[in-house]
Structure 1
Amino acid sequence: MAYPADYRYTKEHEWIKVDGNIGTIGITDYAQNSLGDIVFVELPKVGDSVEATKSFGSVESVKAVSDLFAPVSGKVTAINEELKDAPEKINADANTTWLLKVELVDAKQVDGLLTAADYEKFTSEETGH
């Protein structure tokens, strides 16, 4: 699975796409594949703050519950309401199914995240492929 080059990635398997001062956050295809069938997503509320590297919610699959970690700090401006009733959309297309949007506190935080090539290298080292 190719990872979009215009996204940045975390070692916890979240992605962020930045447009101006808004960051759209999701989980990677690698993460959804590792989790299996996703049955529930817990997200913060609009107006909440998230802090870089800290947990902001969780995703539950038939296998496990995994924490979600913010790639950047910011204020939540939107959550993907569709995931309340259809969390499996993440399994269908993790690269385009977003979880939340945040107004960035510090855009420079994005520079510290992995590029698509770095992330691909990281996941291949993690799996040994």
Structure 2
Amino acid sequence: MSVPAELKYTAEHEWLDLDGDTATVGITAFAADALGDVVYLDLPAAGSTVAAGQPCGEIESTKSVSELYAPVDGEVVEVNAKVTDDPGLLNTDPFGEGWLFRMKVTGAGDLLDAAAYLARTGGA
């Protein structure tokens, strides 16, 4: 399983790429694989405020509907139109074209480094 070392992770399988006070958010390859084929996304709108650990959207797959959790506190500044138009990008490129949204970070969440995330997932 791919777990890029430069990213931060949550126990709920979101990843976070910090660049100053801006972060790009997505779900991990582990989560995408567990979900199966993703068919629909309900993402937070640009301008909305999200709180670390709280639901901020939904991911619907052929298997189930799962909540998306905000990894940190902040304001959503951009939503990835490519992934809303083609939710399958979450399955094919979860750490690249399949990113979900960008946000201005205002508060920290409970984040893990790659090693700690791998340990939680059993190194799958």
* Structure 2 counterpart of 1:101: 102
Which TM-score applies when normalising by structure 2?
0.95
Which TM-score applies when normalising by structure 1?
0.91
Q: Distance in 1 between matches of 2:53 and 2:41?
A: 18
CA contact (8 A) 2:83 2:99 kept: no
Deviation at 1:114, TM superposition (A): 0.6
Deviation at 1:84, TM superposition (A): 2.2
* Structure 1 counterpart of 2:116: 118
For structure 2, the residue ranges without an aligned partner over 5 or more in a row are none
Q: Counting helix residues as a fraction of each chain, which structure ranks higher? A: 1
Aligned-residue RMSD, C-alpha: 1.2
SS at match of 2:83: helix
Does 91-100 or 30-39 show the bigger shift?
91-100
Q: Distance in 2 between matches of 1:12 and 1:18?
A: 18
SS at match of 1:46: coil
Give 2:6's aligned amino acid: D
| Aligned residue pair count | 123
Q: Distance in 1 between matches of 2:101 and 2:26?
A: 7
Report 1:50-129 matches (<5 A). Answer: 50-96=50-96, 97-106=98-107, 109=108, 112-124=110-122
Deviation at 1:2, TM superposition (A): 2.5
